[in-house]
RNA sequence: GCGCCCAUAGCUCAGCCGGAUAGAGCAUCGGAUUUCUAAUCCGACGGUCGGAGGUUCGAGUCCUCCUGGGCGCGCCA
């Protein structure tokens, strides 16, 4: 465990969610009824069915060939849930529905106010997780396509860490590809020194692209590039020096972007880090019989897996060189043997599905038992539904996207709240603009290609970052106006439907966060936060806070405080900040 | 040729292990403000879940086939 999570776990009092309580009570009731464990308790699919439901009777009825409703009838008397719920009811085909008592919700809400973790349980078995995300290439510009892996990976890392896992964030930088043949050729033949000083990355990209274009039409350049690459890999001093400079310049560029995006890595092991381990990897695979020589290359075949039968993985080229498959196998070794990982997550675009299926399959055949997950995502499309490109057909530079987000947010702040001073407006624009870009990405199911739209992501209506931030800001405004320090009341009274509804939502944060990691879907959390903000706004309309009288006032202030904490924490788990004003 | 991913309201998208009458937002239309940020709320309209079979008490979800789109498939990463 990291120091951070250990601190939290030692200081928080153990809380259980309603879902956990009801689940345990259900299995107790099933046992008392002489029935085996079955079914599950889930949040009700519709408010008219109460708050939670179980399909246990349906599952058991199917197994035993009995009538589901009469089975439910037998289970219900054994359900001792009176502390939290109204008497359970049978509905539909045989569902058992639970409706929470307002007093139980109020008590749970009061406990949440005392809990730093807002009720979110720690993982039962903490894992050491190496998470590989972002992974930009040296000498290539960071572009809009890097947002998804970077933002998704960061959010998953934050959530895993909060749940008590030991997370190691690794930036697997592409610092050793064939692109260096072209970059070094360009450096020696095309470099404009003045431009390099002025705009290092721009010049690096220019010589790379120029060389790349030349190789397409000029076979002499192609040969020269290949030659430079061979010399680099053979350890040629001059080429190594150039390579080193390129890497250093690119790292500066990456770090600038990470600073803006608030992304942090624990380690940065580029491909070159594994160079001296590659020969041993291939020797080992050959020795163990996993790999064989085919057409001069060393390949691993997967003849027993139909989809992979005709798709070998090459781990050494026929010219003796290694490729990224070799590096990735060495990377697995390192993460498990040197870093002690029992779990490895790799976050990349969907096109690499086949590659990582092969790599993880090799790892399993080598006897590794770690939990390997390839977490893939779709692409970002332009309004024309094609991969987002600039007018000239290039990738949209990441920096331009981030800058424009802030500029657009700045205009909106200016329009909505012109009285703020300049520095404050700029800070708010930064917070809102970056939040909008990140949230637009995370609020979508990761596998779908999504259409990038400034107007949608910066809208204050709908499932957007500004909508959530605005809920937070409204709360902060109430406390500023109240002018008093918040102190949690001993008990709450939930009288209004809007209060009860908001409080119920607040208790569900703890049920939602762990769910994200089931299938690596941060959008489950964004959906929850959107619904929470929506419940808050409805409460805000229906229930005056400062002008209400006790005991309503203390309850409402408590609901505001807790909502603010959940919004802030929830967005923080997504790598998104909240402003105090906007 | 083979393989993987995707297809849900006019538009953008949710819908994890199969569960009740498939949900939001935008757009459109209609309401709400002497009130803590109307940057909001409430309501209406809107669907053969790409198509056809199958599995079962129950299918948007699982299986098979088909259509349409994206991506990948031995020496780039």
CA of A286 to C1' of B35 (A): 77
CA of A484 to C1' of B43 (A): 38
Instruction: State the pLDDT at residue A2.
Output: 38
Is residue A395 within 8 Å of A144, Cβ to Cβ?
yes
Nucleotide with smallest C1' distance to residue A461 CA = B25
Residue at shortest CA–C1' distance from B21:
A46
Cα distance between residue A492 and residue A397, in whole Å: 51
What are A76's two structure tokens?
């219900």
Residue at shortest CA–C1' distance from B19:
A55
CA of A541 to C1' of B44 (A): 21
A341 CB-contact burial (10 Å; exposed 0-12 / middle 13-18 / buried 19+): buried
Nucleotide with smallest C1' distance to residue A44 CA = B20
A571 CB-contact burial (10 Å; exposed 0-12 / middle 13-18 / buried 19+): buried
Listed in order, strand segments (DSSP E) in A370-513 are: 371-377, 380-381, 450-451
Task: Tell me how many degrees the CA angle A407-A410-A414 measures, rounded to the nearest 5.
Answer: 145
CA of A382 to C1' of B41 (A): 33
CA of A62 to C1' of B54 (A): 20
Question: What digits encode the pLDDT tens for the residues A76-130?
Answer: 999 999 999 999 999 888 999 999 999 999 999 999 999 999 999 999 999 999 9
> How many CB atoms within 10 Å of residue A400?
13
Residue in A25, A64, A65 with CA at minimum distance from that of residue A41: A25
Rounded to the nearest angstrom, the gap between the alpha carbon of residue A318 and the centroid of all alpha carbons in its chain is 39
Nucleotides of B under 7 A from a protein CB: 2-7, 12-17, 19-20, 23-27, 35-42, 56-58, 70-77
What are A134's two structure tokens?
């972002």
A240 CB-contact burial (10 Å; exposed 0-12 / middle 13-18 / buried 19+): middle
Residue at shortest CA–C1' distance from B1:
A310
Largest CA distance in chain A: 85
CA of A338 to C1' of B20 (A): 52
Cα distance between residue A49 and residue A53, in whole Å: 8
Q: What is the 3-state secondary structure (H, E, C) of A352-379?
A: HHHHHHHHHHHHHHCCCCCEEEEEEECC
Cα distance between residue A449 and residue A52, in whole Å: 33
Question: Would you say how long chain A is, in residues?
Answer: 582
Kindly give the parts of chain A with pLDDT less than 70. Answer: 1-13
Nucleotide with smallest C1' distance to residue A314 CA = B74
Residue at shortest CA–C1' distance from B39:
A460
Listed in order, strand segments (DSSP E) in A267-342 are: 291-294, 297-300, 313-316
> How many CB atoms within 10 Å of residue A359?
24
Nucleotide with smallest C1' distance to residue A428 CA = B39
ipTM metric: 0.95
Cα distance between residue A103 and residue A96, in whole Å: 21
CA of A80 to C1' of B38 (A): 46
A166-170 and A128-132 as β-strands: parallel, antiparallel, unpaired?
parallel
CA of A91 to C1' of B58 (A): 14
Nucleotide with smallest C1' distance to residue A92 CA = B20
Collapsing DSSP states into helix, strand and coil, what is residue A284? helix
CA of A127 to C1' of B5 (A): 29
What are A423's two structure tokens?
């520095």
Cα distance between residue A312 and residue A303, in whole Å: 9
DSSP A140: S
CA of A40 to C1' of B50 (A): 33
Q: What is the 3-state secondary structure (H, E, C) of A169-210?
A: EECCCECCCCHHHHHHHHHHHCCCHHHHHHCHHHHHHHHHHH
Residue in A80, A74, A111, A125 with CA at minimum distance from that of residue A98: A80
- Torsion of the alpha carbons at A226, A229, A233 and A235, rounded to the nearest 10: 120
Cα distance between residue A274 and residue A326, in whole Å: 9
Is the C-alpha dihedral spanning A282, A288, A290, A295 positive or negative?
positive
Nucleotide with smallest C1' distance to residue A96 CA = B20
Nucleotide with smallest C1' distance to residue A481 CA = B36
């Amino acid at each position: 465990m990291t120091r951070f999570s250990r601190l939290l776990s030692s200081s928080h009092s153990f809380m259980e969610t309603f879902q956990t309580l009801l689940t345990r009570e259900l299995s107790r009731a099933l046992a008392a009824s002489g029935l085996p464990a079955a079914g599950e308790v889930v949040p009700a699919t519709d408010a008219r069915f109460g708050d939670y439901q179980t399909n246990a009777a349906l599952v058991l009825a199917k197994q035993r060939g009995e009538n589901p409703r009469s089975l439910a009838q037998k289970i219900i008397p054994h359900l001792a849930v009176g502390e939290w719920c109204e008497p359970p009811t049978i509905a539909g085909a045989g569902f058992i529905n639970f409706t929470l008592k307002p007093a139980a919700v109020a008590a749970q809400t009061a406990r949440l106010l005392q809990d730093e973790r807002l009720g979110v349980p720690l993982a039962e078995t903490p894992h050491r997780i190496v998470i590989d995300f972002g992974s930009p290439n040296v000498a290539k510009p960071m572009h809009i396509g890097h947002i998804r892996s970077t933002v998704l990976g960061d959010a998953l890392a934050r959530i895993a860490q909060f749940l008590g896992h030991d997370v190691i964030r690794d930036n697997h930088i592409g610092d050793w590809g064939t692109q260096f043949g072209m970059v070094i050729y360009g450096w020696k033949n095309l470099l404009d020194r003045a431009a390099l000083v002025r705009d290092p990355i721009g010049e690096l990209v220019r010589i790379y692209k120029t060389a790349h274009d030349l190789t397409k039409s000029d076979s002499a350049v192609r040969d020269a590039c290949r030659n430079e690459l061979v010399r680099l890999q053979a350890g040629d001093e001059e080429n190594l020096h150039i390579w080193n400079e390129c890497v250093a310049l690119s790292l500066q560029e990456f770090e600038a972007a990470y600073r803006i995006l608030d992304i942090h890595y624990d380690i940065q092991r580029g491909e070159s880090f594994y160079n001296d381990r590659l020969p041993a990897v291939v020797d080992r695979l050959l020795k163990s019989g996993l790999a064989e020589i085919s057409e001069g290359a060393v390949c691993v075949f997967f003849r027993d897996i139909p989809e992979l039968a005709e798709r070998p993985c090459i781990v050494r080229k026929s010219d003796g060189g290694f490729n990224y498959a070799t590096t990735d196998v060495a990377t697995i070794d390192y993460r498990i043997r040197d870093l002690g990982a029992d779990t490895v997550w790799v976050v990349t675009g969907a096109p690499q599905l086949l590659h990582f299926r092969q790599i993880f399959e090799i790892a399993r055949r080598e006897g590794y038992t770690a939990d390997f997950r390839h977490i893939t995502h779709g692409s970002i499309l332009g309004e024309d539904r094609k991969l987002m490109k600039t007018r000239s057909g290039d990738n949209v530079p990441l920096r331009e996207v981030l800058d424009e987000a802030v500029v657009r947010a700045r205009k909106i702040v200016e329009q909505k709240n012109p009285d703020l001073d300049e520095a404050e407006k700029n800070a708010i624009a930064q917070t809102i603009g970056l939040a909008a870009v990140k949230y637009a990405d995370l609020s979508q199911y990761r596998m779908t290609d999504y259409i990038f739209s400034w107007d949608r992501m910066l809208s204050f209506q709908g499932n957007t970052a500004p909508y959530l931030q605005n809920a937070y800001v409204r709360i902060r405004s109430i406390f500023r106006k109240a002018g008093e320090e918040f102190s949690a009341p001993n008990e709450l009274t939930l009288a209004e439907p809007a209060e009860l509804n908001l409080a119920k939502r607040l208790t569900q944060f703890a049920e939602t966060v762990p769910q994200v990691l089931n299938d690596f879907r941060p959008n489950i959390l964004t959906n929850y936060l959107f619904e929470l903000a929506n419940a808050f706004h409805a409460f805000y309309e229906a229930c005056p806070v400062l002008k209400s009288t006790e005991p309503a006032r203390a309850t409402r202030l408590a609901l505001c405080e807790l909502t603010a904490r959940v919004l802030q924490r929830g967005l923080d788990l997504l790598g998104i900040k909240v402003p105090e004003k906007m």
